[in-house]
Structure 1
Amino acid sequence: YQVRMIPYEDDEFTRPFTGKVDAELNQKMNVEVRVEGVDSRQFALVMDTCWATPVNDPDYSLRWDLIIN
């Protein structure tokens, strides 16, 4: 399966950004998270939080919150 994060320009999720997206720290953004390659009748995506680290370690002390719900 593949997970994609798609940023949108508007609150209605009708205009996805094209090209490079510049954002300020703590700027609210509308992002669709889409999982492709799964049976949607048997799979549901529920996200409360999402963060990034500079290394491949989810417990690394330095991290940036991407989604806070």
Structure 2
Amino acid sequence: PQTITRKNSLFAGSAGGGETWATIATLLQTAKMNNVDPIAWLSQTLTRIANRWPAADIELLMPWNFKPDAVG
């Protein structure tokens, strides 16, 4: 997966796009390495950020601290 991502990032369009791509790929791979569903983690994290998650608690958003929200 890392090699495919690295090759695909060549087409990001700019240096800034490549850096953004690398950051997102690293976070998604970190989620996988922590046995976390990357889509579930990313969805929850983006929702929390959009809902003004406190910057002081940013560590709690990292993949290794992921706990799925209770549904119900």
Which structure is higher in RCO with an 8 Å CA cutoff and minimum separation 6? 1
Structure 1 or 2: more strand by fraction:
1
Q: Name the TM tier (shorter chain).
A: under 0.3
> When you count helix as a share of all residues, which structure comes out higher?
2
TM-score by length of 1: 0.25
Q: What TM-score results when the alignment is normalised by the length of structure 2? A: 0.24
